[in-house]
């Protein structure tokens, strides 16, 4: 080997070259597709594991079986993944057609929640319709998906007609429609979902190119409304004061938040070990839902929490990459709105657990127990997969890859043909 060849070989395996090679993977056509699919499956697997770990002690005492919540959550996952796959195969037109029925049905369900005898109050919030047998629906969860689709379709139509140069066209009817959904959610005392809906509204305005002054004004108005909603409701105001003074009322208002921080702190760098946590022995309220991140921190340590943050960070990158690369205005708006919904909800949940944000009672997407939140989230991710396949060069890359496992399975069963 000549000196020139040796130098080229050293350059090829240098740290800088290896980093450049890894970064080049982000420029491939199907990067967004695989990031969303991979992170979603990893978070689902982590969620099933942590739901079992966080709940088995209490469920063994309540039901005689440690696997009660795991079986329920696994059932929702088994329903949700095929729905996600089917959603990823839908044409863009289907999402625009479904936008209005999903939003209208969600609004109707939110109204039914407020009807005495139909709505169920859980932990101070009337968010659920109870069908009996442990089956409950939280209408505010599909309302997030409905608002994303409806808002994206509405603004895309107006952009096509060049109507968005007028600030009134930007806000009407988007702002009144969002206000109706928010009002119904707030009548059920669900501040966490309200914040997510406001985030979707602002994300849609930002992506469509709203002038900075108008966007800043809308942000200020939302902050003012949120402050009023907190102050007028005693239990929400108590949560805010408890957040500002964590040392006060340690056995009542601040008990859950303090226990969550202690659980994460006790995990150290590597954690106590999967299933070895102590706080789930009835020392941490809602450890399988709102505070499951605390169980992750205790049992998997700093490494586990950083992995969770990293996966949500990759989901944010992939979703915004889709919004930047697709040409269709509806896809751009819907991708940004869905990404904002899922990522901001994760930030609000994690922020509450580590006491940098007040407790709002919303679940960690894909990880916390609950089918009402899981199914709409998987549908939203399926929609992002459908959009990712329409990025520049993605169709050619998929065609070159050949038929996937689903297509091959259908072919083997005689229900389809391999391409």
Over residues 97-119, the pLDDT tens digits come to 999 999 999 999 999 888 877 77
The confidence score (pLDDT) of residue 229 equals 81
Which range marks the domain in which residue 378 is found?
29-388
Classify residue 130 by its DSSP letter. Answer: E
Q: Whose CA is closest to 284, among 297, 296, 294?
A: 294
Total residue length of the chain: 419
Measured between alpha carbons, how far is 264 from 34 in angstroms, rounded to an integer?
A: 31
pTM (2 decimals)? 0.89
Which range among 7-16, 24-33, 306-315, 375-384 shows the weakest confidence by mean pLDDT?
7-16
33 in any annotated domain:
yes
Number of domains in the chain: 1
Measured between alpha carbons, how far is 164 from 152 in angstroms, rounded to an integer?
A: 13
Measured between alpha carbons, how far is 380 from 41 in angstroms, rounded to an integer?
A: 14
111 in any annotated domain:
yes
**411 band by pLDDT with thresholds 50, 70 and 90:** low
23 in any annotated domain:
no
Let me know: does 261 contact 253? Beta carbons within 8 Å.
no
Let me know: does 103 contact 147? Beta carbons within 8 Å.
yes
179 in any annotated domain:
yes
Torsion sign, CA atoms 295, 298, 303, 309: positive
230 in any annotated domain:
yes
Let me know: does 145 contact 335? Beta carbons within 8 Å.
no
Residue that wins the pLDDT comparison between 255 and 148: 148
41 in any annotated domain:
yes
261 in any annotated domain:
yes
Element (H, E) at 129: strand 125-132
209 in any annotated domain:
yes
């Amino acid at each position: 080997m000549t000196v020139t060849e040796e130098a080229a070989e050293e350059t090829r395996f240098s740290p800088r070259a290896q980093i450049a090679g890894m970064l080049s993977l982000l420029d491939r056509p199907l990067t967004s597709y695989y990031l969303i699919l991979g992170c979603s499956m990893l978070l689902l697997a982590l969620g099933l594991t942590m739901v079992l770990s966080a709940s088995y002690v209490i469920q063994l005492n309540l039901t005689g079986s440690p696997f009660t919540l795991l079986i329920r959550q696994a059932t929702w996952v088994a329903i949700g993944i095929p729905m996600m796959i089917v959603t990823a195969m839908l044409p863009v037109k289907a999402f625009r057609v479904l936008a209005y029925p999903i939003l209208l049905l969600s609004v109707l369900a939110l109204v039914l929640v407020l009807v005495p005898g139909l709505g169920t109050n859980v932990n101070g919030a009337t968010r659920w319709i109870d069908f009996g047998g442990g089956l409950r629906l939280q209408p505010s969860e599909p309302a997030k998906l409905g608002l994303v689709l409806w808002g994206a379709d509405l603004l895309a139509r107006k952009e096509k007609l060049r109507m968005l140069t007028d600030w009134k066209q930007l806000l009407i009817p988007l702002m009144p429609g969002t206000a109706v959904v928010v009002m119904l959610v707030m009548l059920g005392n669900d501040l966490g979902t309200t914040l997510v809906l406001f985030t979707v509204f602002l994300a849609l305005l930002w992506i469509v190119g709203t002038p900075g002054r108008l966007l800043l004004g809308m942000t200020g108005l939302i902050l003012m409304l949120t402050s009023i909603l907190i102050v007028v409701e005693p239990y929400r105001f108590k949560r805010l004061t408890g957040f500002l003074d964590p040392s006060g009322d340690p056995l009542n208002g601040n008990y859950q938040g303090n226990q969550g921080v202690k659980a994460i702190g006790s995990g150290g760098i590597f954690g106590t070990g999967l299933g070895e946590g102590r706080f789930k022995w009835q020392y941490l309220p809602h450890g399988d839902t709102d505070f499951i991140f605390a169980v992750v921190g205790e049992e998997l340590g700093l490494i586990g929490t950083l992995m969770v943050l990293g996966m949500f960070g990759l989901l944010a990158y992939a979703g915004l990459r889709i919004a930047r690369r697709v040409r269709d205005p509806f896809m751009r708006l819907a991708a940004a709105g869905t990404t904002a919904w899922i990522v901001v909800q994760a930030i609000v949940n994690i922020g509450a657990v580590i006491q940098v944000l007040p407790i709002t009672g919303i679940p960690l997407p894909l990880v916390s127990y609950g089918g009402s939140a899981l199914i709409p989230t998987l549908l939203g991710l399926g929609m992002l997969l459908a959009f990712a396949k329409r990025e520049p060069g993605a169709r050619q890359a998929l065609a070159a890859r050949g038929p996937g496992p689903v297509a091959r399975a259908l072919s083997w069963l005689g229900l389809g043909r391999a391409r």
